[in-house]
Amino acid sequence: MQAGLTPTGPAALLARGLAIFPLPAGAKAAPAGWPELVTTDPAAVTAWPAGGNIGVACRASGIVGLDLDRKTTDGHDTFRALCAGARRPWPATLTVTTAHGGSHLYFRAPTGIIVPSSISRWPGVDVRAPGQRLGGYLVGPGSIVDGQPYTIARDLPIEPLPRWLTAHLTRGRRRTGAAAAEMTT
């Protein structure tokens, strides 16, 4: 099947309002200069090499991605405990199952608040976010790593990052104007 014609191909991700870029086939690591490859143009993806993976640029897409790993610590358990501690349900948002059984939860980034990317923000949980300069990225659905696909597990709209989670992710970060007032409600 040609790239862009699958429900998780580049065209489908662009239709969700995501900015994407090509990753090498089988790879999670982005090539040097990847921010210059980011596009929202459906015509641009037709020139991508067949069989390549897809990167989703967080800053250009205006998203925050929670990467729940299942390596040494189960990020699902950690996030479940965070939700319980905040007395909030597991968020209903676009969710992708990763090649090794983890999950990527996609959220719309809050306006006027810097959400930084971080590795091991909590045990088993990485944050891919717009940050201050280039932002992070996620390996997108339709990609294959170690022979295993990234697939959409919960085909839902991308919801705004919940306020309680925004507060956890931005502790100690400066907020101004309406963004600061919004965080107190």
pLDDT by residue (tens digit) across 21-57?
Answer: 999 999 999 999 999 999 999 999 999 988 999 999 9
Report whether pLDDT(6) > 60: no
Which residue shows structure tokens 């990527």? Answer: 104
Distance CA 60, CA 49 (A): 22
Range 71-77 average pLDDT? 92
Mean of pLDDT over the chain:
89
Confidence of residue 173 (pLDDT cuts 50, 70, 90): low
3-class secondary structure, 94: coil
Distance CA 55, CA 37 (A): 10
Range 128-134 average pLDDT? 90
Range 144-169 average pLDDT? 96
Q: CB neighbours (10 Å) of residue 181?
A: 10
Range with the poorest average pLDDT among 7-11, 61-65, 80-84: 7-11
- What pLDDT score was predicted for residue 4? 37
Transcribe 34-88 into DSSP letters.
GGGG-B--HHHHTTSPTT-EEEEEHHHHTEEEEEE-BSSSBHHHHHHHHHHHTT-
Q: CB neighbours (10 Å) of residue 154?
A: 15
Range 5-17 average pLDDT? 81
Residues whose CB is less than 8 angstroms from the CB of residue 32 and which lie 6 or more positions away in sequence, other chains included: none
Range 77-98 average pLDDT? 97
Distance CA 57, CA 74 (A): 25
- What pLDDT score was predicted for residue 171? 80
- What pLDDT score was predicted for residue 8? 74
